[in-house]
Structure 1
Amino acid sequence: MIKSIFISSAEPYSGKSLVTLGVFEAILRKTKKVALFKPVIRDRGASKKDKNIELILDYNNLEQTYDETFAFYRREAQELFGSGRQDEFIEKIITKFKILEEKNDFVVCEGSDYIGEGSYFEFDINAYIAKNLGLPTLIIGQGLGRSIHEILNPIQMAIEAFEHQDTKIIGVVVNRVQPKRRKEIERAMDKNLPKNSGIHSVIPTDVILSSPTVQEVAEQLNAEILYGKDKTENLVTNFQSVAMRLSNYLKYLKKGSMAITPGDRIDVLMGALQANISSNFPHISGIILTGGIELPDHVKQLMAGLPDVLPVLAVKDFTFETSVKASTVASSINKDSIRKINLALTLFDRYVDMEAFEKQVMSTLPSGLTPKMFIYHLQKLAAQDRKTIVLPEGNDDRILRAVEILQKKDVVDTILLGDYDLIKNR
């Protein structure tokens, strides 16, 4: 009887959060008592927590504490292995895992992240942990901008590493694939991966999931949020370095973009704010003021009196350095990203063969109608007897979010009541 699985990335930035969310959603349709275990997590300060752990705990309302979800910080694990204390390492992991297993019907075990110093250590350690816990493994790769060989090579290496540890592979998911290449990559997986590598799934990339929020930009650039703190969930689809005059910049405004400009370019700041409330220009996500230049008092006074202000960030770096750093800002799914969470669940449900997944993992779980299963059945029934819903207050963010979710789920048709131009530009 399978009561647990191990989810492991074949490389960094493979979109493991999306898959973990989807796996939890699928299992919670079968049983209420599910736990998360992440044996080794990245080193963080005392005040910082693993965002993926917080995401899973918060969204699924799991009945476990944060400390119960992991055994070691990465540095602790490295020190134990470096001093030949592997037995001590694995004994603690098994003990914490078994406590969760005894309390729950199912435990989802998530491998480490392969990010930063010690990545090669983590690759070996994931296979070692899966073997010692006796867990079947789901492997995740990523395919954005890559050839077939570049996609499959790290996956094949991961499969070999886990099989060398006598670990069963129950499936391979390739994430972040250009939509038009999905079928091509699916065929290549079926042709080139071992026959005993379980189900093969390919999930296409989506601009919403690949775009960081303003909050993520601020955190990764170490920026101060001066204005628009209520709009930090705005998605940033691209960055624009603005050194030209305002009249020229307005020609290049792009929806969802974030302007990067020196802190003394008050003309760009004011022009961007005005353009953003105009029905004739696309809405941008925010502005980054560079150079550590403080805004003049009269500008602060003006900004404080505006009823609706875009996020305005300030950094100490100059424009060029900020632009280079901005190009490396990574998007993630965190517990406050409701829009991304709903899309991630929709993509997993749509592109992973759930029937095959259930046969591999969940056929022996307790039966019963859980809250997740109730919602799932409700959506299926709605799709079978499709209706049209008329929603007033079409300018309200909550209504727009609800419509977006319904459209992604593709279960009903919607009609929004409100100002056409305002709704279109939101």
Structure 2
Amino acid sequence: MTRSVYVTGIGRGDGRQVVELGVTELLTRQVDRLGVYRPLVHDAPDRILELLRTRYRLTQKEDSVLGLGYEEAAALQADRGQEALTARLVEGYLRVAEEYDTVLILGSDFADTNLPAELGVNARLANECGASVLVVIGGRDQSADSVVAEVRNAHHAYTNLGCDVIAMVANRVDPAEVGPAAEQLRRTLDVPVYVLPEEPALTAPTVRQIVETLDAEVLLGDEAGLSRDAMDFVFGGAMLPTFLPALTPGCVVVTPGDRADLIVGALAAHSAGSPPIAGVLLTLDERPGPQILALADRLAPGTPVLAVPTGSFPTAAELFGLDGKLGAGTPRKAETALGLFETHVDTAELTERLSVARSPRVTPMMFEHALLERARADKRRIVLPEGTEERILRAAEVLLRRGVCDLTLLGDQDAIRKKAGDLGIALDDPGLELIDPHTSPLRDRFATLYAQLRAHRGVSRELAYDVVADVSYFGTLMVQEGLADGMVSGAVHSTAATIRPAFEIIKTRPDAAIVSSVFFMCLADRVLVYGDCAVIPDPDAAQLADIAVQAAGTAARFGVEPRVAMLSYSTGTSGTGADVDKVRAATDLVRELRPELMVEGPIQYDAAVSPVVAAAKLPGSTVAGQATVLIFPDLNTGNNTYKAVQRSAGAVAVGPVLQGLRKPVNDLSRGALVQDIVNTVAITAIQAQGDEL
């Protein structure tokens, strides 16, 4: 039977999109094919549906997602009554339910809908679809007592209409009222009630939204600049010394276009990071000359400078009427929304109340969700040595907004702040610290420690003082000394530069002979573990066995049941030669070291993963045809295979994940995407959790 969840409200302005996004996140962690249904729609493109389709790679056809337009629905209800309207909308739901095991139903938005008794329409539809109901109430500008009354009234309204209300959410509540409201609601209702505070970053318009609303001309700025949030508006009319202290982080400066002093002053302040601004909006149809624009571009590359023909007063009237829009074009707002949801909602409790059966398949998205969820459950601090790299900063923003872990960024603090300001990234999260190894008080301590560790190599205290200023060495020493739980680097540094300090300082675990690596290969319907594809060029039999044992442990730690295939160009006893003999000897060693481990080898790749081939080549094997951990005989084979599968099969490759170190340090590909970095940091945090098991 199809499981359905209906997200609805009682009025407009409740910021329900945050909850719809959060519930979708929870559902896609459990099921691999989620259907979405919007019974009542406006003519304009549906931003939240576009976001869900893009972010969660929903393949559902658009015509099955959408029900009736509000005008058509109102006309149908007026002509034939609510029964006819309900029947028509349920038909649309049933078409989705035929194709999907779980359906998320997005209720009406109470905005210019022309539907009488709209709450009743939602309740009736939820009942007819057999859906559990999650009700969202807007609490903006209300006291705690008022929020509590609204929630209780909404709960009574839906339950009295026969709805199965599984939870309530009070959203956009004044932060000062969140605690008192939550405490009262815990005592008065028998269903969970989650209270989410107002989040300025969600209601702030982006600079691009300002451009579109005001039909502004973009004089300067790039895509990253246009995606910045406008957290405030500062209107410039005073002289520069009076104007500069009025600037606030993330503000848009609004000034007449002939005030070159304010334009240059604001951009110079941004360049210095004090404070970073979102952009400059010029009024009165005035534009600075080419020399001023050229100077502005050099001072703050990428920072938007816009121009409008109107004066400051009518421009202000339009600006203050803008609200931020959550949609496919605002991925950073989506991360903020999910972070807000996951911080203030007991996701484990809500997941249980949603009561959807977990799919036996593990999709790439489900694997990535699980990583973030596990890392968040026991937060650790990860050090990122490449603090001025754009991808690192963008990944850091995602990790902090989602509450995945705490972070330390290494590098010149002014340079980090300037780069973050250019990208429109705020560095005010309490879980973030910036450290410059050259000026940090830790440098002396680390120099003494490193000199002691490397004294047998003739490293003096003076030389050590220079070495530990290198960000990779400094970050590794932070991990060694317990000032960070793990390190991730390699976006701009070589693999050698990343892992050499770990070999020298952290060293291998007592139960590991070598340091090796694995990739998590997320295919369409399963996750495989490949090793070693990044570290050991030509392992001997003993090293190959060690790689297999470590890889099995890594797989198990991340929820993949280890069934180990020792790969070769020959299966079973069909081939001979030095390469096959090495794999056969390694397989025997694995069985000696870990008798309980399911392992097969030598075995060819097709026999390892295809049940049909396995039945012909190794009938009766507990591994053949269902291997989950694939161990390659050498780096040449492993590296090329993982890249071939990644590119040809569209697999998501997460790694390399280093194994065998006493404390977690992981290397990135220099072509790593932001999501790759996020995943690797989450894996590192989970490894750090395991170090204390």
Letter in 1 for 2:46: D
- Given the alignment of the two structures, is residue 345 of structure 1 paired with residue 338 of structure 2, yes or no? yes
Give yes or no for contact 1:256–1:284 (8 Å, CA) kept in 2. Answer: yes
Give yes or no for contact 1:273–1:309 (8 Å, CA) kept in 2. Answer: no
Letter in 2 for 1:251: P
State the shift of 1:199 in Å. 1.8
User: CA-to-partner distance for each residue in 1:118-151, whole Å, 9 max, x for gaps?
Assistant: 4866444323322332322100113333113432
User: CA-to-partner distance for each residue in 1:269-307, whole Å, 9 max, x for gaps?
Assistant: 23322322134x31111122223x152663686379647
Q: Residues of 2 paired with 1:189 and 1:401: CA distance?
A: 37
Paired residues, number: 417
Q: What residue is the counterpart of 1:30 in the other structure? A: 30
Q: What residue is the counterpart of 2:242 in the other structure? A: 248
State the shift of 1:215 in Å. 1.9
User: CA-to-partner distance for each residue in 1:295-345, whole Å, 9 max, x for gaps?
Assistant: 266368637964714212333432112212222211232113232222322
- Given the alignment of the two structures, is residue 321 of structure 1 paired with residue 317 of structure 2, yes or no? no
* 1:5-404 paired onto structure 2 within 5 Å: 5-44=5-44, 49-84=45-80, 86-116=82-112, 118=114, 122-193=118-189, 195=190, 198-230=191-223, 231-279=225-273, 281-291=274-284, 293-295=285-287, 298=290, 302=294, 306=298, 308-382=301-375, 389-404=382-397
Q: Residues of 2 paired with 1:121 and 1:269: CA distance?
A: 52
Q: Give the TM-score, by structure 1 length.
A: 0.87
Q: Residues of 2 paired with 1:15 and 1:419: CA distance?
A: 39
User: CA-to-partner distance for each residue in 1:235-274, whole Å, 9 max, x for gaps?
Assistant: 1111112222233211211111111223333332233223
State the shift of 1:177 in Å. 2.7
Report the 3-state secondary structure (helix = DSSP H, G, I; strand = E; otherwise coil) of the residue aligned with 1:236: coil
After superposing the two structures, state which structure 1 stretch, 93-102 or 401-410, moved more: 401-410
Letter in 2 for 1:81: Q
Letter in 2 for 1:19: V
Q: Residues of 1 paired with 2:90 and 2:403: CA distance?
A: 42
Distance 1:84 1:41, change over 3 A: same
Q: What residue is the counterpart of 2:410 in the other structure? A: 417
State the shift of 1:163 in Å. 2.8
Letter in 1 for 2:244: L
Q: Residues of 2 paired with 1:327 and 1:118: CA distance?
A: 27
Distance 1:375 1:298, change over 3 A: closer
After superposing the two structures, state which structure 1 stretch, 77-86 or 232-241, moved more: 77-86
Distance 1:411 1:131, change over 3 A: closer
Q: Residues of 1 paired with 2:227 and 2:185: CA distance?
A: 36
Distance 1:130 1:383, change over 3 A: closer
State the shift of 1:153 in Å. 3.8
Give yes or no for contact 2:32–2:359 (8 Å, CA) kept in 1. Answer: no
| Runs of 5+ unmatched residues, structure 2 | 421-693
Q: Residues of 2 paired with 1:290 and 1:119: CA distance?
A: 41
User: CA-to-partner distance for each residue in 1:1-21, whole Å, 9 max, x for gaps?
Assistant: 661011012222222111111
State the shift of 1:41 in Å. 1.7
Report the 3-state secondary structure (helix = DSSP H, G, I; strand = E; otherwise coil) of the residue aligned with 2:80: coil
Q: Residues of 1 paired with 2:109 and 2:220: CA distance?
A: 33
Q: Give the TM-score, by structure 2 length.
A: 0.55
| Runs of 5+ unmatched residues, structure 1 | none
Report the 3-state secondary structure (helix = DSSP H, G, I; strand = E; otherwise coil) of the residue aligned with 2:127: helix
User: CA-to-partner distance for each residue in 1:192-235, whole Å, 9 max, x for gaps?
Assistant: 44x3xx32111233333232221223334443433214211111
Letter in 1 for 2:8: S
After superposing the two structures, state which structure 1 stretch, 198-207 or 165-174, moved more: 198-207
Question: Bigger radius of gyration, 1 or 2?
Answer: 2
Structure with the greater relative contact order (CA < 8 A, sep ≥ 6): 1 or 2? Answer: 1
Q: Residues of 2 paired with 1:305 and 1:386: CA distance?
A: 40
Report the 3-state secondary structure (helix = DSSP H, G, I; strand = E; otherwise coil) of the residue aligned with 1:379: helix
After superposing the two structures, state which structure 1 stretch, 260-269 or 163-172, moved more: 260-269
